[in-house]
Amino acid sequence: MNRTLSAVALAALLAALQGCASPGAAIDKDAQARAAAEKPAAPRAEEFPALDSAKWKQGAFPGTEKFQRVRPGMGKDQLRELLGWPHFSEGLWGVREWNYIFHFYTGKGSEHVTCQYMVRFNGSELMTGGWWKNPDCALLAQPPAATPIPASTKLAPPQKVTLNADGLFRFDGASLTDLQPAGRTRLEHLAVELRNNFRSLHYIVVTGHTDRLGGDAYNEALSLERANTVRDLLVQQGLDRKLIRTAGMGKRQPVVSDCEGSRSTPTLLQCLQPNRRVELDIAGEQ
C-alpha cells in the first residue's frame, strides 16, 4: 500500500515539475480565443536557456508535420501530445514557459542542425506563442511542401522580390489594416503575376526585415507579423497557404550597414530605409 501511494505521489510530482494542467481538462473557447489573440513580443535570444542546462540534453528529432498543428490557444496536454515533454526543468506549479531542443536533418547523411524552441503560456495555461531562438529554424520545422516534378517540366530559376516596407505598411504597423493602399495594390498585382507566370508554384518564402532602431524582440516580432500579413493577403488573392512559409529576421540581415548615428532622425531613417523590407523567394514551374 505504501509503495503504491509513493508511486502515485511521484507521478503527481513529475507532472507538477513540468507545469502541466489537470489531464483531460476542457478548454473554454473564449479563453482559447483570448490566448490566441494575445500575441506577446518574441523573447530575446538571451532569454532562451543554455543548452547545457537541459534536463534531457539529447533533445529530439521531431516530425515536421507536428509543427503544422501547433497554434496559440492550445492547452499543455495538447501541446505535449504534439511535441513531447519539455527538455528543461521549468519549475513547479504555474509554469508559463516550456523549452525544447530539436534537431533537423539537412539532407546530407546524418548532418543536422540543432534549434531551440520556446513556448509560453498565460495564466490559464494556454499557449500564447512559440518562438525559435534562431528564426531560420522556422523554415526547417515547416519546410515548403514537396511537389513532384515531371521530366518535361521547365523550371524557373528561383526569383527574389523585394518590397519596401515603408511603402507597404503605415509606420510601426504590421496588420492587414495597417497596409497602405499602394502597398495592398502592389501585393494584389504580385499575386496576379504569380498566378499568370507560373503553371504551378513549388514554394514562396516571405521574410520580414527591419532596420536597427528599436529592441531585438520588438523588431523580430514586427518583421514576422509583417511577413505573416503579406502571406495572408496573398492567400486572400487565391494563392495556396500551404505553399507559403514566413520568417521574421528583425534587424539581423541589413542591406546597408554604413549609416551613422543611433537617434531616430529623418536623415538616419532615410539612410536605413533599404533595410526595412519584405522579401519573397519564389520557386515554381513556368
CA distance 96 to 112: 29
State the residue for C-alpha cell 478548454. Answer: 27
Domain residue extents for the chain? 24-133, 159-285
Question: What does the block give as the cell for 116?
Answer: 531551440
What local confidence, expressed as pLDDT, does residue 128 receive?
93
The class that CATH gives domain 159-285 is alpha beta
Q: pLDDT digits over 40-85, tens only?
A: 888 888 899 999 999 999 999 998 888 888 989 999 999 999 999 9
Residues 6+ apart with CB under 8 A from 108: none
pLDDT exceeds 60 at position 5: no
What local confidence, expressed as pLDDT, does residue 262 receive?
85
Q: pLDDT digits over 8-46, tens only?
A: 455 545 544 444 444 557 888 899 899 888 888 888 888
Q: Contact 252/208 with Cβ under 8 angstroms? A: no
Residues 6+ apart with CB under 8 A from 137: 102, 104, 113, 115, 116, 117
What local confidence, expressed as pLDDT, does residue 3 receive?
53
What local confidence, expressed as pLDDT, does residue 16 receive?
46
Does the reported pTM lie above 0.75? no
Closest Cα to residue 137, out of 234, 209, 245? 245
158 pLDDT band, cuts 50/70/90, is: confident
